[in-house]
Amino acid sequence: MPILHAYDGTELAYRLLGEGVPLICLPGGPMGAGGYLGDLGGLSARRQLVVLDLRGTGESAVPDDPSTYRRDRLVDDVEALREHLGQERVDLLAHSASAGLAALYAARHPQRLRSLVLIAPGTRAVGTEVTGKDRRGAGELRRDEPRYAAGRDAPEATRPGRDAGEVTSAAEPFTQGRRDARVHAATTSGQTDSGAARVHCRDGAFDPTATAAALRDVTAPVLVLAGECDGGPTLDRAAELAALFPNAEFAVQRGAAHYPWLDDPGAFVRTVEAFLDPDVLSVQAGGIRLAHRAWGDPSAPPVVLVHGRCGDSRTWTRIAGHLADAHRVYAFDFRGHGLSDWPGRYSFELFRDDLHAFLEARNLAGATVVGHSMGAAAACLLAEREPGLIGRLVLEEPPPPFPLDPPRGPAERPDEELDFDWPVVPSTDAQLNEPDPEWWGRIGSITAPTLVIGGGPAGRIAQRGLARMAERIPRGRFVTIDAGHLVHTGRPDEFLAELRAFGLA
């Protein structure tokens, strides 16, 4: 393991996992070694994780002066690691009790922080104590799960930071959401220094009033990610912490508890990756986190680009770059796609609701909406339901709202890792085979000027059906670009020319 020397000469060990921009990772405990973090659910495939063993834990040396275990003094170890890595500014991730250490670092060295990720964060450093009532309330969320019933009378034992020997086997499952707690307990056994932990929180380690005030001046973006079923912190306590930062995003991982990267690795990585990518933004829209990208002057007329099934916002990069000369362009990932939430339930109506919620969240009433395939169907349904919400409408190869002939048979999931949630496919196939008759019945209620673009004979959609759609829309027009189903990527120049002819500069 690589080694650095702290300010007092103590040797500190750290692990390097993956490649890319470094992400310093601080383990909880308190005073735990970093091994239990693993690769954080696969986050190492996106970033280089620099996982520190806090002094006196794991492979790091025991300091000569035990008082240096105190949390406020550990800030200097984090700064020493930053200097050792040669980074002017760092991305910092902290779990559980080390969220307090990270908060102290942010307060003392705000200019050294590029971003901060707090996972299931402890809140004691800012004066918020997690109570037994909080933990019991979280435990009650699990009352229908037999394996948790035995621990319902021992919630105090699940408090993050307790010595592993103090955590009873009955209470341990409360820290887990969807994974067998025994798997995690095996990886953390012996990794926490209980003597160091007692020093860690001694008098003088905290000045909550000063820390909370200092955090209000931290301008770096902050992500606070909490597990829905966690008792320490509960969602309310985690939200209170997020509110102290002027530029914070608060995310809830459904079904997770204190170790969200174990409960649902995919959900965890998507949320953190979206936050760490400077080109990706996120909004909470209708209870779903929708990741999106934006181009152009924020004050320019808005255009919203919505992708097709199994795609994501990146499919629009080239088109968005051209449109951004005269527009503020947004492209978001639908639920179940890309870096947005994958809740497991999908339908064209839910995708319609995603688009509606995104427009409302970004205050984009009157925007031009350009949709491809599934995204075009969602945009069409929204334009039917909310006349006047969309200023102009472009439908690229939308599935016509009448049954497929022949119908699609059962789809088989590919073996490889997917960038979308597989249930999207069977759910929408069923609707394509038997669409709601009201889709077609309401199409004449669309008031927005509408351009329907077909891909010609090589397209997946019957062109005569697209022509019928355009005819039924009062201000509709149909054009063909012989490019197949992916018109905007196969013939981008011709696609842009049709947009310009339709009124987009």
What value does the mean pLDDT take over residues 237-255?
A: 95
Q: What is the pLDDT of residue 400?
A: 82
Q: What is the pLDDT of residue 140?
A: 65
Q: What is the pLDDT of residue 190?
A: 47
Q: Cα(126)–Cα(207) distance, rounded to whole angstroms?
A: 8
Beta strands at 288-295 and 328-332: parallel, antiparallel or unpaired? antiparallel
Kindly tell me the burial class for residue 164, based on how many C-beta atoms sit within 10 Å of its own C-beta (0-12, 13-18, 19 or more): middle
CB-CB neighbours of 273 under 10 Å: 18
Which distant-in-sequence residues (6+ apart) come within 8 Å of 497 by Cβ? none
Q: What is the pLDDT of residue 53?
A: 96
What value does the mean pLDDT take over residues 68-92?
A: 96
Report CA dihedral (15, 17, 22, 28) to the nearest 10 degrees.
-60
pLDDT in tens, 405-452: 888 999 999 999 999 999 999 999 999 999 999 999 999 999 999 999
Pair 396, 330: CB distance under 8 Å: no
Q: Cα(251)–Cα(265) distance, rounded to whole angstroms?
A: 15
Q: What is the pLDDT of residue 375?
A: 98
Tell me the H-state helices in 348-459. Answer: 348-361, 374-385, 424-433, 437-441
pLDDT at 164 over 50: no
pLDDT in tens, 38-75: 999 999 999 999 999 999 999 999 999 999 999 999 99
**Chain centroid to CA 353:** 19
Q: Cα(26)–Cα(367) distance, rounded to whole angstroms?
A: 43
Pair 308, 374: CB distance under 8 Å: yes
Classified as helix, coil or strand, 452 is strand
Binned at pLDDT 50, 70 and 90, residue 146 comes out as low
Q: Cα(329)–Cα(293) distance, rounded to whole angstroms?
A: 8
User: Among 206-210, 270-274, 401-405, which stretch is predicted with the lowest mean pLDDT?
Assistant: 401-405
Kindly tell me the burial class for residue 84, based on how many C-beta atoms sit within 10 Å of its own C-beta (0-12, 13-18, 19 or more): middle
Q: Which residue in this structure is represented by tokens 């948790």? A: 148
Looking from the CA of 290 toward its CB, the CA atoms found within 13 Å total 30
Q: What is the pLDDT of residue 212?
A: 94
| Buried residues in 172-185 as b, exposed as e (16+ CB within 10 A) | bbbbbbebebeebb
Binned at pLDDT 50, 70 and 90, residue 12 comes out as very high
And the tokens for 200?
A: 């860690």
Q: Kindly report the CA angle at 438 between 435 and 440, in degrees rounded to 5?
A: 75
Identity of the amino acid at 471: E
Of residues 352, 372, 370, the one with CA closest to residue 302: 370
Instruction: Give me the phi and psi of 307, to 5 degrees please.
Output: -85, 170
Q: Which residue has the higher pLDDT, 149 or 318?
A: 318
Beta strands at 222-227 and 248-253: parallel, antiparallel or unpaired? parallel
Model-level pTM?
0.89
Of residues 299, 319, 301, the one with CA closest to residue 311: 319
Sheet holding 288-295, edge to edge: 281-285, 288-295, 328-332, 302-306, 368-372, 392-396, 450-454, 476-480
Q: What is the pLDDT of residue 232?
A: 85
Per the prediction, the chain carries an average pLDDT of 90
Q: Cα(146)–Cα(143) distance, rounded to whole angstroms?
A: 7
Q: Cα(135)–Cα(232) distance, rounded to whole angstroms?
A: 6
Of residues 444, 371, 431, 370, the one with CA closest to residue 402: 431
Kindly tell me the burial class for residue 402, based on how many C-beta atoms sit within 10 Å of its own C-beta (0-12, 13-18, 19 or more): middle
For 122, 206, 208, 314, 479, the CA distances from 126, given in Å and listed in that order, are 9, 8, 4, 39, 60
Does the CA dihedral 40-44-49-53 come out positive or negative?
positive
Looking from the CA of 336 toward its CB, the CA atoms found within 13 Å total 23
Q: Cα(433)–Cα(430) distance, rounded to whole angstroms?
A: 5
| Buried residues in 367-390 as b, exposed as e (16+ CB within 10 A) | bbbbbbbbbbbbbbbbbbebeebb
User: Among 191-200, 352-361, 370-379, 418-427, which stretch is predicted with the lowest mean pLDDT?
Assistant: 191-200
User: Among 2-6, 201-205, 331-335, which stretch is predicted with the lowest mean pLDDT?
Assistant: 201-205
pLDDT at 166 over 80: no
Q: What is the pLDDT of residue 459?
A: 86
Q: What is the pLDDT of residue 32?
A: 86
What value does the mean pLDDT take over residues 141-151?
A: 61
- DSSP structure class, residue 44: G
Q: What is the pLDDT of residue 158?
A: 46
